Structure 1
Amino acid sequence: MDLPTHYLANARKELLRFKGIAEKSMQQLNEEDLHYRPGKEDNSIAVIVQHMVGNMRSRFTNFLTEDGEKTWRNRESEFETTLQNKSELLQAWESGWDCVFHTLDNLKPHQLMQEVKIRNEAHLVIEAINRQLAHYAYHTGQIAYLAKSIRGKDWESMSIPKGESERFNKKMFEKGSRD
């Protein structure tokens, strides 16, 4: 596999990983939890999701031909709770990710060096994708942190639980030696 093809496959893999972390976090919460704000000026998970969805739709719609900050996007409204129930929230979430993956799956390796714009600032396609990878990782971390804070001792870890690193590493290295 050539480097550009590998990059696109890896970007997709990482985005799916972020999506999964956020979804596993949200699965542990009820509707009320999704709207919890630690402080008056803080965002709830619902608001973070709304913002991510708005960003995804704006950045990845007509990715190669239009500025990533669309005139139809109302970023400020993304920070007001508009998605009221979990079903509506998850439906919007899926539509945002569908937009991202549709675009990534249709990119050709030679297009990674093509120029696109975000807020009239030039980026190579690879740079624009990296920018979104970082942005979605940032917000996925916020979602997971908020969900963990809400669940407390009932949180189901999605990574190596505290005190389990040695056992996990042993298992992984044993697995590798059998391959």
Structure 2
Amino acid sequence: MEKDYLASIKKQFEYYKMLGDQTFAQLNDEQLFNQINEESNSVATIVKHMWGNMLSRWTGFLTTDGEKNWRQRDAEFENDITSRQELLTKWNEGWQCLFEAIDSLKNEDLTKEIYIRNQGHTVIEAINRQLAHYPYHVGQIVFLGKIFCSTQWKSLSIPKGNSKSFNDDKFAQAKHKQHFTDEFLKPD
């Protein structure tokens, strides 16, 4: 059961990373840094925040508080990433830190207590907390992508108007165990 949990959450995180990757590929450089209004965040700023959070939460995951004293959370919301390459470097660095931490976990680690801002969480609770947090921000990135690309947007799931044909195809196949992310985690 625990091995299934670790494999499942890794697959879920991979899915949300893929959604971000495929959104970045559809945006031009200007769109990555476009801030709709004073209170909103650009795609680059959301990436910077996720990067800061990921490095803080997943570095020394089992041994140190998830809110590191070196983290500068408020600075994560300054729109100062200057290039697509810098954005992608931070994005990939954050995810690499997460995946390395997940890959290092053993079944017996799942019930251990760790701390985030001096509040105790089981490892499962801490992972679930991040599995709620990152998709929230990836959803913001995808939403901005859809706004900026407008009619040029290429759907990352089942395009509008295609649900019936998608379902017909799925039900025509032999039954087999498949996680919902499998159908979307395909190379471009």
Give a deviation string over 1:38-86, Cα, whole Å, max 9, x none: 2111000000000000000000000011100000000000000222100
Number of the residue aligned with 1:167: 165
Number of the residue aligned with 2:181: none
178 and 64 in structure 1: CA distance in 2 versus 1, 3 angstrom threshold = closer
The CA distance in 2 between the partners of 1:178 and 1:135, in whole Å, is: 31
Number of the residue aligned with 2:2: 4
The CA distance in 2 between the partners of 1:90 and 1:26, in whole Å, is: 9
Residue identity in the other structure for 1:136: Y
Instruction: Return the match for 2:95 from 79, 94, 97.
Output: 97
153 and 72 in structure 1: CA distance in 2 versus 1, 3 angstrom threshold = same
Number of the residue aligned with 2:145: 147
Residue identity in the other structure for 1:26: F
Query: Identity, % of aligned pairs?
Result: 47
Number of the residue aligned with 1:77: 75
The CA distance in 1 between the partners of 2:17 and 2:122, in whole Å, is: 24
Count how many residue pairs are aligned between Structure 1 and Structure 2: 177
- Alignment partner of 1:14 is 2:12: yes
Residue identity in the other structure for 1:81: N
Q: Give the TM-score, by structure 2 length.
A: 0.92
Instruction: Return the match for 2:45 from 44, 47, 61.
Output: 47
Structure-to-structure mapping, 1:109-120, within 5 angstroms = 109-120=107-118
166 and 30 in structure 1: CA distance in 2 versus 1, 3 angstrom threshold = same
Instruction: Return the match for 1:128 from 104, 126, 137.
Output: 126
Give the Å deviation of 1:178: 9.3
Residue identity in the other structure for 1:74: Q
The CA distance in 1 between the partners of 2:176 and 2:4, in whole Å, is: 26
- Alignment partner of 1:67 is 2:88: no
- Unaligned regions of 5+ residues in structure 2, if any? 178-188
Give the Å deviation of 1:173: 1.1
Question: What SS does the aligned partner of 1:176 have?
Answer: coil
Instruction: Return the match for 1:107 from 105, 108, 112.
Output: 105
- Alignment partner of 1:157 is 2:155: yes
